Amino acid sequence: MQLIKLVCPNCGANLEVGANRELFFCSYCGTKLTFPKKAIRYEYVSRDETEIEKAKYKAITQINETKYKSRQARYGVLKGIGLLIGGLLLTIVILAVIVLLLFS
């Protein structure tokens, strides 16, 4: 099946549509799009080009997921350190109160 590359006039999303279709919807914003076949300038995309674009998208998604997991891990470490310091400070305050009460 041959695909046509189009841009949604509503949201600007890049779309790929079957060459024989005159009515379709934007998969991003849902806008109903119609066009006569005569008005289209066709840019045929081979299956290989489509697969390359999908692979690029998958790679970018994996990179972003890795960055997100790394940030979550760093946040978890910082949160743990914060809790440890907070616990130590609370212990010091409690000990100070006990010392004051004992020696008052």
CA–CA distance from 22 to each of 3, 31, 55 (Å)?
A: 13, 14, 28
Helix count and strand count (H, E) for the chain: 1, 5
pTM for the whole structure:
0.34
- pLDDT tens digits for the chain (104 residues)? 577 777 888 888 888 877 777 778 888 888 888 766 555 555 555 666 777 788 888 888 888 888 888 888 888 888 888 889 999 999 999 999 999 999 87
CA–CA distance from 15 to each of 2, 29, 30, 33, 50 (Å)?
A: 13, 11, 12, 11, 11
